[in-house]
Amino acid sequence: MDGDFRVGPWLVEPSLNTASHNGTSHSLEPKVMEVLVCLAGHPGAPLSKEHLLRTVWPDTFISDGVLTRSISELRRLFEDDAKQPRFIQTIPKKGYRLLAPVTPLNGTLTALSLAVLDVPRENSRANTRRWMWRLAIPASAVLFLGVLLALNVGNLRARVWARTTIPQIHSLAVLPLKNLSGDPAQDYFAAGMTDELITYLSQLGGLRVISYTSTYTYKDTRKTLPEIARELGVDAVVEGSVQRMGQRVRVNAQLVYAPQETHLWAQSYDRDLLDSLSVQSTVASAIADQVRIKLTPAEQARLQTPRPMNLKALDAYLKGVDHLNHVGHGFGGEEVKMAAESFQEAIAQDPGFAVAYVKLAEAFGNEALPYPMESLPFQRAAIEKALSLAPNSSQVHLARGYFRFTRDWDWRESEAEFKRALELNPNDPQAHVAFAEYLEAMGRLEDAMQERQRARELDPTIAELCTGFFRAKQYDLGIQILKKRLEITPNDGGTHLQLSDFYAYKGMEKDSIAEMQRGAALFGFEEAAQHVGHAFSGSGYRGALRALAKDMEKAYRQGRLDRPDAVAEVYTRLGEKDEAFRWLERAYGERNPAMVFLNVEPFWDPLRPDPRFKDLVRRVGLPQ
């Protein structure tokens, strides 16, 4: 339907995807508008769910849940009550009908509804004859009706043709949403909304979505969209903004085919602040429709509107996510502490907030915030609580699998959890990397490399990929990938430290020390970085390593670093085996995650012939 019309007191303009009342205009998603147009074509008549789905989503597999959400959006717009409807009535087990009167503003509503509603040809002819007989329509009017129908069919053909000529999109990146609130203190909110949108999109099969850690560095970039797309290896880019206004939030999003910078879709959403996360679910559904992804029922279920939540809980959660994302990018343990406090506040405000428990466990387990053994009960409790609240969440099963693997050393249970996480979300590169690490620890190296390759296909910029190359001693390849990543994320401390290890085992001592300094500074250890640099200038590589070991020991005693394994690794490089084993025993006593990789890390090659090392492997329970 191309013409405007009224539904009760509301002015509906399909061409603009807007509905207005009392001087206030509200935007509707294109598909929600099409549902309304469909219903308005037969006011008062029941329309089946099958008919609505076939008409609005003719070439996409869509479950009833999408239609239900669209009806809910219309009821929200009209402030309608499903139990006592004034606008839209639910016909149990059948469909819906529009109760409010419909007034076409250009006289074309009835005629155009025949084409839009896809009425069967036999019924169309019968209805035409019936109306001609009753109303005695003149021949000229019949001719005019035919012209309108022909034009509308032409429009439908044009829309179908336009849809089939949309370029194929198999991968995309979500750029950081701009904060238009006018308050820099709200940057965390925009960052959190970006992260949530990526989380929703990554659950869609058939679509490769770049992780937030790879895209956040493009905030305020001057690079063009084609340049960004080439660097990230994607077909399309999602960009937009977030504006928080009191108790309301507005999200603007647009989908751009990057090679030609062609704008494929754009939409604005105004919501109550409490519905902030549901907006990202809505945006993800709209993007899935635009790129013609056929969602499975399970994927559609994951995109259903999230449960409502307490505003203070949402605010605290998004602050916690922002704090965690700062770690290793110029900030260290203080950010982890603030993240943990924020997630605890979110849980206090909303005890049913499952993902907040997952993030709390992640904060407790972060190596920049050591609790050694004391943290384990808190991590375990948070993960088990999350599982009870969201048993079908891939995030929860991934967190549980990693905890079972690296802390409980329960090989059978952790494998089952990793497989369940991948079953629920096969497009999560982090889940593939985690499972690859498990397989490496178990000695299943070929299977592990396949998982890492799958992770690389999903996100070619993910830094964890290079861990496999390091363990396989493919140092040149790892260096090449890490340097490429640093072109995109130059302030990623973890990548600098990883590159330092590659350089060290290639014998590139000066480069290794330089990367070590950069990485340490980005994790908040500026003083240690300076000590290492001075020691290298005065005493060479061994002097730098000795200074590093002493600074790490000091940070460990002060509770600023939970890495006894890293201290052991430095002493191993120095050839001081007794000191190395002393720190490895400490790591074993604390059930440090690094212990599960004893068999595969090149760090420990000089120690392997020693009976103490073999005994350590046996006690951890790893394959001999």
Helix (H) or strand (E) holding 477: helix 475-488
Is residue 617 a part of any domain in this protein?
A: no
Share of the chain above pLDDT 70, in %: 82
**Whole-angstrom distance, CA of residue 446 vs CA of residue 451:** 9
Range ranked top by mean pLDDT from 119-123, 180-184, 368-372: 180-184
Beta strands 10-13 and 102-104, pairing class:
unpaired
- What stretches of 120-232 show up as alpha helix (H) in DSSP? 121-135, 139-164, 187-201, 212-215, 225-232
pLDDT of residue 231: 83
Question: Does 229 map to a domain?
Answer: yes
Provide the CATH number for the domain around residue 288: 3.40.50.10610
For residue 79, give its domain range: 5-163
CATH code of the domain in which 322 resides? 1.25.40.10
Q: Is 139 in the same domain as 37?
A: yes
Do 152 and 205 fall within a single domain?
A: no
The tens digit of pLDDT for each residue in 187-228 reads: 888 888 888 888 778 777 778 888 777 787 787 778 888 888
274 inside domain: yes
Which of 344, 374, 391 is the endpoint of a domain?
391
What pLDDT, on a 0 to 100 scale, did the predictor assign at position 396?
A: 94
Which range scores top for mean pLDDT: 295-299, 308-312, 451-455?
A: 451-455
Question: Rounded to an integer, what is the distance from CA 356 to the centroid of its chain?
Answer: 15
Q: State residue 523's pLDDT score.
A: 84
Poorest-pLDDT segment among 110-114, 247-251, 620-624: 110-114
Which residues are CB-contacts of 190 (< 8 A; sequence separation ≥ 6)?
176, 177, 178, 179, 181, 241, 242
Q: At what angle do helices 139-164 and 109-116 cross, to 10 degrees?
A: 40
Residues 9 and 152 in one domain: yes
pLDDT of 124: 35
With respect to residue 91, please indicate whether it lies within any of the assigned structural domains. yes
Q: Verify that 239 and 213 share a domain, yes or no.
A: yes
240 within some domain: yes
User: Hey, what long-range contacts does 498-506 have (CB within 8 A, 24 or more apart)?
Assistant: 498/463, 498/466, 498/467, 498/470, 501/470, 502/466, 502/470, 502/475, 502/478, 503/479, 504/573, 505/470, 505/473, 505/475, 505/602, 506/475, 506/476, 506/479
Report the length, in residues, of the chain.
624
Domain boundary among 364, 391, 418: 391
Q: Which tens digits make up the pLDDT trace of 54-109?
A: 888 775 555 566 788 788 889 888 888 888 888 899 988 788 989 888 888 754 33
pLDDT score recorded for residue 69: 77
Q: Would residue 554 count as lying in a domain? A: no
At residue 266, φ and ψ (nearest 5 deg) are: -150, 145
C-beta of residue 272 within 8 angstroms of C-beta of residue 186:
no
In a domain, 607, yes or no: no
Residue 24 belongs to domain with CATH number: 1.10.10.10
Q: Which residue has the higher pLDDT, 72 or 246?
A: 72
The confidence score (pLDDT) of residue 280 equals 73
Confidence at residue 431, expressed as pLDDT on a 0 to 100 scale: 92
pLDDT single digits (tens) 56-70: 877 555 556 678 878
Number of domains comprising the chain: 3
What pLDDT was estimated at residue 77? 87
Query: Do 386 and 268 lie in a common domain?
Result: no
Q: Which residue has the tokens 């959890």?
A: 417
Same domain for 44 and 109? yes
Q: Are residues 192 and 99 in the same domain?
A: no
Q: Which of 10-14, 205-209, 288-292, 512-516 has the highest mean pLDDT?
A: 512-516
Question: Percentage of the chain with pLDDT > 90?
Answer: 25
Tell me: pLDDT of 118 over 80: no
Whether 288 and 195 map to the same domain: the answer is yes
Same domain, 28 and 143: yes
Supply the pLDDT for residue 453: 84
Angle between helices 429-441 and 445-458 (to 10 degrees): 170
Rounded to the nearest integer, the mean pLDDT of the chain is 80
Q: Is the domain of 36 the same as that of 159?
A: yes
Q: Provide mean pLDDT across the span 400-416.
A: 95
Strand partners of residue 269: 251
pTM: 0.65
Q: Is the model's pLDDT at 306 over the cut of 80?
A: no
| pLDDT of res. 164 | 43
End position of a domain, from candidates 369, 391, 413:
391
* Shared-domain flag, residues 85 and 144: yes
Do 190 and 338 share a domain, yes or no?
no
Express each pLDDT in 147-164 by its tens digit: 333 444 444 433 433 444
160 vs 351 pLDDT, higher one? 351
pLDDT greater than 60 at residue 370: no
Dump pLDDT digits (tens) for 176-195.
888 887 788 788 888 888 88
In a domain, 619, yes or no: no
pLDDT mean over 591-614:
93
Closest CA to 176 of 229, 230, 268, 240: 240
Q: Is 138 a residue whose pLDDT tops 60?
A: no
pLDDT grade for 23, boundaries at 50, 70 and 90 = low
